A = this chain, B = another copy of it.
């Protein structure tokens, strides 16, 4: 892949940060957007904008078609069986909240168990915490091992007759561990337990195929897939969407509204209350096109190369302590540094134009387990090159200088 060319498609890289070229290593937080995606959004507002699914005039028809075309595009990209299985949301966070609320309302009662892991992002814990509070359900955490993985045996051990759902991340946004989703789904299927996958970090980096993974729910944030912010996707198997109660109420999600009762539309409309993020949905088609043109396999190969190069280089640095060492991993490198707090690292790196993230990355439970309050995280996107890693490493050396150690 021609990374220089790819990078040139992202306008953000035209600018300088503190007089230096931008080295963006914060894609796990949010990816940058290629010009075609930005243009599509602008262009849609300029020439095709109208509200979707409500009026019958020309603009409304066009907008509705574009919107639904995007649904098809997503369906095909993630290889879902039915277009009705694609629900547009505000983000992965909303996707998970939707299922926790809707599935939880109907299927989870006092004493039931939700099986999750110590690796999860707050977005895949707090919605279940709400259920714990409201319904008296229990949350079981499959423990993380010292490599920063969750072993399938631990999950097996925790499944029992009370387990009502398994909620698990596809890739950890801290240790980078790639979870064996297919195996977990196989385990769960034996007991008829649905599996929700937090695909926020999986979708941008792996080939995701709903038919193959077999999970019941899959949550995606478009802004980490070179797409617009404020847009997410919930994939849910048709058998669920047809029985789950609606989540938010409003325009567009109804079939019949009476003073004493409301009958809801079928999916996906049932779960898309109110005016949607039309331009964002339409532009996300271009994000998928961008990924498809490069080929997700090629992206993955490229990213893995950078990742390994980065891990290698950092491992050689005595002051650096790498967090986690999973056997199958992707896209993120978390580390700490002797004598320099991650927050200070991030500030010092920024001086060299290097953007990383410091903190607990919305994984406080994992950080508590690791016994540290914060880590520094460099995360990889398709636009990163080995040069970026070299600049990162130099900037890390600078931390020692600034701190005189």
Contact = CB atoms under 8 A, between A and B. Distances in A.
B94 A275 contact: no
Interface string A72-113: 000000000000000000111110110010000000000000
A195 B129 CA distance: 30
A251 B122 contact: yes
Given A56-B343, A122-B251, A275-B93, A38 B29 contact: no
Nearest to A124: B250
A346 interface: yes
Interface residues on A, range: 35 or more
**How many copies of the shown chain assemble into the complex?**
2
A266 interface: no
B50 A30 contact: yes
A228 B281 CA distance: 13
Given A56-B358, A58-B18, A59-B17, A125 B257 contact: yes
Interface string A12-36: 1011011000101010011011010
A326 B352 CA distance: 64
6 contacts: A12-B59, A24-B59, A93-B249, A126-B250, A229-B279, A230-B277
Interface of A: 11-12, 14-15, 17-18, 22, 24, 26, 29-30, 32-33, 35, 37-39, 41-42, 45-47, 49-51, 54-60, 90-94, 96-97, 100, 121-123, 125-127, 129-130, 139, 141, 221, 223, 228-231, 248-254, 256-259, 261-262, 273-280, 343, 346-347, 349-350, 354-359, 362, 364-365, 368
